[in-house]
A and B are shown apart, each in its own frame.
Chain A
């Protein structure tokens, strides 16, 4: 049954918020198009309204904020890779951006798009959770900040109300001495959707673990934080045996993987455990 699809193309933030003011669940926001255009072509998405925010320049920009970063929602993977500020303060986010699709996708896939789509396999989102990032949402009703961990609610479900627009992401300043890592296990070495994706951030105080934050994708309906790691490791010396135990407990308790077209639950759980153990060991052994 043919329906009319209404497309709006606001030129600035006020116009975008006005366009979204009357939005329903069937209103979609269009950023770089790497997700939505596929969904429209396949019929998976059948919105009645699309608000294209690509030309809203207020949604762009990479800036210092209180020693951390403020990243516009339309920041592309390519811009993350090219930014000296991002490399200096959150290099792990650039590492993740490098693994998103390949060149053509990286030129268009955005932070806001990754967050808004909320696919459990999104590559950037686990990094944002591990770094304690927050999302700034704006609407005609006002502005609010939501920690990314609370923003991602479930399978392709977010905290964003239909009339809200993802404006920017804030990444807090790096805790002193925090070491970060990102690891993606894809279906091939480029241009792939992850089977397991992990981001970790660890602070060592002398020999002991002072803090550990982590998040994983593709092992549950949404990105999951890895609280078991903190419980198992904080305050302890991360020797190989402890890392083995902690990664096992984490893979058993924090993940709920499934069988799907890309992989199996069994593989995902084991790969997650093994990757966590190896990445934690690598972070421990990293000098400086």
Chain B
């Protein structure tokens, strides 16, 4: 083929670059992200009330979509009450509802986000709850 040498050389470079994520993680352990939900605020609640707005499975996969819906309904339509699938009502607010229980952003939110190399810009505006140094909050 024409310019065979250049093409093969380029292909090798391409394969090297594309497999970088794999080659760079050789030897690193796979650490499953474990978000911690044992905040003092959650501990204060009786066992039956330790429920999030929706189920864990729903939240794990859909919390982004839920937050999207929340922000449109609250900011754009003034509907600041959410009726969850269990019938309980919640005030729509990241800072004042979600983070009131999950007050350990670095042990909860950041655990999965860092693992997935996701940096949502919520916290550029929404004030993250202050964490105690006792909880080894990594700045």
Whether chains A and B associate is: no
A contact set with B: CB distance below 8 Å: none
